[in-house]
Amino acid sequence: MQLTKTEIDEHNKSLLVKHEHSFRFVASQIPDCEKIIRLLQEFQIAIPSWALGTGGTRFGRFAGGGEPRSLEEKIEDVGLLNTLNRASGAISLHIPWDIPKDYAAIMQLAAHYGLRFDAVNSNTFQDQPDQVYSYKFGSLQHIDKIIRKQAIEHNIGVIEQGVKLGSDSLTVWLADGSCFPGQLNFRRAFENTLDGLREIYTALPSHWKMYIEYKAFEPNFYSMSVGDWGQSYLYASKLGPKAYTLVDLGHHLPHANIEQIVSLLLMEGKLGGFHFNDSKYGDDDLTVGSINPYQLFLIFNELVEGMDTRGMNHAKDLGWMIDASHNVKDPLEDLLQSVEAILIAYTQALLVDRNALVAAQNETDVSKCQEILQQAYRTDVRSLVAEARCRSGGALQPLALFRKLNMRKSLITKRGLKTTATGL
Ligand code: AFD
Ligand code: MN
Ligand code: MN
């Protein structure tokens, strides 16, 4: 589905007076407003291919209609998002769900929408129809060498696919672990996993990164072989400079201080990237910022502070990706809301008065520290984000335009009501 420049221009024109009023008001209070707008224009968040269809739970799935039926249609959907918000300029593929039939054609299609291929994801948490050995009891951790070998070869294959698409990172999320005490020797599982990761690491091209994603529980309920940031950090440290920890916001036990984890990983140069989502209870995969936007802001506050301390490029030096997919919303609307929430939190973090915060910290003026953070958090920056988007050619209000043009209806007309996107 294509969205024309005229449609965007008309939409922006209809909102311009109101927008400029809000924008001027907020801009007048911010000393380096132009710099913030530039940073926002550069910031891109990759869309996972598996978030474009309706997610399900183990109880059921309620498809919304017009879901992408192929990799081409997934790219088309991300292209649509990016045309609307100019901040979704990358797609992250999951193998084998998204194996291209014709690489050149897929590259061309992505280029047409201004998209690049972000991290490629391997899948050893499911058995595929043509697969010889089962991952029921794990993949890289498995007691059987032949199953470990199959998982290693799969990951190396995923790297090869990524190379052909111009990707430069591999995300490994392992469902490995155990469901009952005594089922697994933890140390042996760790060593097997590490050995497997080493072989995969060796296959990485020199400019590639490997992201090791951790998750506290599920699908295994007693232990996970990459269960927390400590374990991920341990693997990443032992592997070498191209291996990093990936933080998925939904993969912690309740009340975990994620911003502190982020700060320390950045300090050690081992934070690789993010999977953004929100949750109330577990790995809920809810829309970013829908439950706890303040936590998201606090995470971005640490990110901005830590990246600036290390002289990092905000847009390029970490992998930014959404990982959300659920049951009751239109996936494209959900993704537009998620990207918006990320940009808002990032902008608010950029507004934090760093010098004043350091001074207040040095005076142990606890109340002032809170005031400084909340001053930034409580600033309504939506018109700043909209201004950056508009200057990049996007829509002032992407979600409103998506609805006004009845885009879901057009997708249903074109693709049908009972389509199913690949994924979980
Ligand atoms: C998992 C992880 C992960 C994985 C995905 C599969 O968050 O990143 O690739 O779901 O759908 O929960
Ligand atoms: Mn994830
Ligand atoms: Mn998850």
* pLDDT tens digits for range 336-353: 999 999 999 999 999 999
Terminal Cα distance for the chain, rounded: 24
CB 246 within 8 A of CB 232: yes
pLDDT band per the 50, 70, 90 thresholds, residue 60: confident
Closest ligand 1 atom to residue 218 Cα is 12
Res. 422 pLDDT band, cuts 50 70 90: low
Distance 213 CA to ligand 1 centre (A): 9
Percentage with pLDDT > 90 across the chain:
94
Q: What is the mean predicted confidence (pLDDT) over 323-345?
A: 95
Q: How far is the CA of 212 from the centre of ligand 1 (A)?
A: 12
Residue 423 — pLDDT band, cuts 50, 70, 90?
low
The ligand whose atoms approach the alpha carbon of 283 most closely is 3
Using left for φ > 0, alpha for ψ between -120 and 50, and beta otherwise, residue 172 falls in beta
Q: From the CA of 112, how far away is ligand 2's center (Å)? A: 27
The pTM of this model reads: 0.98
Measuring from each residue's beta carbon to the nearest atom of ligand 1, which residues come in under 6 Å?
A: 50, 121, 173, 213, 248, 275, 283, 323, 424
Say yes or no to pLDDT of 105 above 70: yes
Residue owning the nearest CA to atom 3 of ligand 1: 173
Residue nearest to atom 2 of ligand 1 (CA): 173
CB-CB contact of 265 with 319 (8 Å): no
Q: Residue 424 has what pLDDT?
A: 62
Confidence category of residue 64, pLDDT binned at 50, 70, 90: confident
Determine the average pLDDT of the residues in 170-176: 98
Domain residue ranges in the chain: 44-345
**Would you say 191 and 234 are in contact if contact means Cβ atoms under 8 Å apart?**
no
**Least confident residue range of 56-70, 110-124, 280-294, 318-332:** 56-70
Q: Taking 90 as the threshold, does the pLDDT of residue 271 lie above it?
A: yes
Whether pLDDT at 221 is above 90: yes
Distance 11 CA to ligand 3 centre (A): 35
Phi, psi of 46 (to 5 degrees): -70, 145
Nearest to 265 by CA among 316, 341, 214: 214
Tokens of 213: 């994603």
Give the integer Cα–Cα distance in Å for 176 and 186: 11
Confidence (pLDDT) at 421: 73
What is the number of the ligand 1 atom nearest to the C-alpha of 94? 9
- The beta-strand segments (E) located in 181-329 are 209-213, 223-224, 243-248, 271-276, 319-322
| Res. 82 pLDDT band, cuts 50 70 90 | very high
342-372: burial string, b at 16+ Cβ within 10 Å, e else? bbbbbbbbbbbeeeebeebeeeeeeeebeeb
**Apex 180 CA angle, 178 and 423, nearest 5:** 40
Ion ligand 2: residue ranges with CB closer than 5 A? 248, 275, 323
The two three-digit tokens of residue 274, written as one number: 């993010």
pLDDT at 362: 98
Superfamily for the 44-345 domain: Divalent-metal-dependent TIM barrel enzymes (3.20.20.150)
Q: How far is the CA of 414 from the centre of ligand 3 (A)?
A: 31
